[in-house]
């Protein structure tokens, strides 16, 4: 139910009038000198050491059309396991992230997530634990719902996920996941579809699922890749014998590839599919749009059982710490409530500005403007969209 992939977005959404005021604690560096920071912004000469760990404490401020302005705090503990011998594979960065924010729409979100590569990358451990108290908007089902159909509702959510993956060969992992969710404390606009109880899951639910997951990840950097591939496929089975209120299946597939056409000029491609079958609660239906795909549409504006979409982005340097992007994409939700038609597909085009705050990890503040079929929206975040 509302299962979420675990990228670094859900990474650190930071802003402090354009400056990330960052405190670094306990950082060690056995190979390079530790660069001095100014207002939390790393020098451009900063490089990634072979062995480092540390804690970042971050003020949090961001903007999306689903939340409007949001403020809070985040923290990240990052580390690497050192190889025991020259024959072992070098291990990529692991992290445990904590985040809490409160939005202009009176939405409270508290979240901890982890992405841990064990020594030699023999195992990849991922997961999250989350609590939300979340007012939101519902427009009905299907890809032709009207903005005038908007009704407001709110709910509370507790979520736990635990994913264990075993390395088959470098960059290739398979494993299983367990997901538990409890959705409760619903309130609705009077007279709306949700209050009438005609929408599956509108009175709350427990979701309990087993999942099978396969990942191929050869990216050179999980925050901002210059080259490599990420391919991930997963299937989740929400079963009543496991305690789930509703029985349904969720299948997800993501493919991303990155080309460095010349130094720091990156062409990035992403394709995503999400399919749901069975007695699906409305909160677990597929949605279209967000800050990470099809920018220009609020995340929950369109809902149906299935989603398919793709996007391409060109990233390039401008001057000093600044860079630019241009992007375009298309996608649609479809299923029993609406058919898939190319003439009604949602498109997204846009551009954006980047500011480098940590050259070693390639971490950028991003400002994007995405324009879609019904207008456009600004996004102010940290970390690339994919």
CATH for 334: 2.40.160.50
Q: Is the pLDDT of residue 150 over 50?
A: yes
Question: Is 62 within a domain?
Answer: yes
Residue 282 within any structural domain of the chain: yes
In a domain, 241, yes or no: yes
10 within some domain: no
* pLDDT reading at 15 higher than 90: no
Q: Contact, 271 vs 310, CB < 8 A? A: yes
Share of the chain above pLDDT 70, in %: 87
Q: Report how many domains make up the chain.
A: 1
pLDDT at position 184: 94
Q: Is residue 169 assigned to a domain? A: yes
Torsion of CA 245, 246, 251, 254, to 10 degrees: -50
* Any domain includes 345: yes
CA atoms of 286 and 1, how far apart (whole Å): 10
Structure tokens at 104: 């202009």
Cα–Cα distances (Å) from 49 to 36, 80, 93, 360, in that order, read 15, 10, 11, 8
Range of the domain at 313: 23-382
Does any domain span residue 180? yes
- Let me know: does 94 contact 80? Beta carbons within 8 Å: yes
Q: Look at residue 205 and tell me whether its pLDDT is greater than 60.
A: yes
The pTM (predicted TM-score) of the whole model is: 0.82
**pLDDT number for residue 76:** 81
Q: Is residue 9 part of a domain?
A: no
State the average pLDDT for the chain: 85
């Amino acid at each position: 139910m509302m299962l979420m992939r675990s990228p670094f977005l859900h990474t650190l959404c930071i802003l402090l009038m354009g400056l990330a005021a960052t405190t670094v604690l306990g950082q060690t560096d056995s190979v390079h000198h530790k660069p001095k920071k100014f207002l939390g912004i790393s020098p451009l000469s900063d490089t990634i050491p072979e062995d480092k760990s540390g804690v970042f404490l971050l003020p949090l401020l961001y903007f999306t059309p689903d939340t409007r302005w949001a403020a809070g705090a985040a923290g990240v503990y990052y580390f690497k396991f050192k190889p025991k011998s020259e024959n072992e594979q070098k291990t990529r960065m692991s992290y445990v992230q904590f985040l809490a924010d409160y939005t202009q729409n009176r939405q409270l979100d508290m979240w901890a997530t982890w992405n841990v590569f064990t020594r030699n990358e023999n195992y990849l451990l991922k997961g999250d634990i989350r609590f939300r108290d979340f007012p939101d908007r519902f427009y009905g089902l299907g890809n032709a719902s009207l903005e005038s159909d908007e009704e407001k509702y709110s709910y509370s959510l507790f979520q736990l996920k635990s994913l264990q993956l075993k390395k088959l060969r470098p960059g290739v992992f398979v494993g299983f996941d367990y997901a538990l969710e409890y959705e409760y404390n619903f309130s609705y606009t009077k007279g709306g579809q949700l209050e009438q109880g005609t929408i599956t899951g509108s009175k709350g639910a427990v979701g309990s699922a087993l999942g099978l997951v396969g990942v191929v990840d050869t990216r050179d950097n999980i925050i901002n890749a210059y080259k490599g591939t990420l391919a991930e496929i997963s299937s989740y089975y929400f079963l009543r014998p496991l305690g789930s209120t509703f029985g349904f299946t969720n299948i997800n597939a993501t493919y991303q590839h990155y080309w460095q056409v010349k130094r720091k000029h990156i062409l990035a491609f992403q394709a995503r599919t999400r399919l749901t079958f069975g007695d699906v609660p409305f909160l677990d239906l597929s949605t279209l749009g967000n800050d990470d795909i099809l920018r220009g549409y609020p995340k929950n504006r369109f809902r149906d059982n299935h989603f398919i979409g793709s996007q391409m982005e060109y990233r390039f340097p401008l001057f000093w710490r600044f860079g630019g992007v241009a992007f375009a994409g298309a996608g649609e939700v479809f299923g029993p409530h609406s058919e898939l038609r190319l003439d009604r597909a949602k498109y997204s085009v846009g551009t954006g500005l980047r500011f480098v705050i940590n050259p070693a990890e390639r971490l950028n503040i991003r400002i994007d403007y995405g324009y879609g079929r019904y207008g456009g929206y600004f996004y102010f975040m940290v970390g690339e969209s994919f």
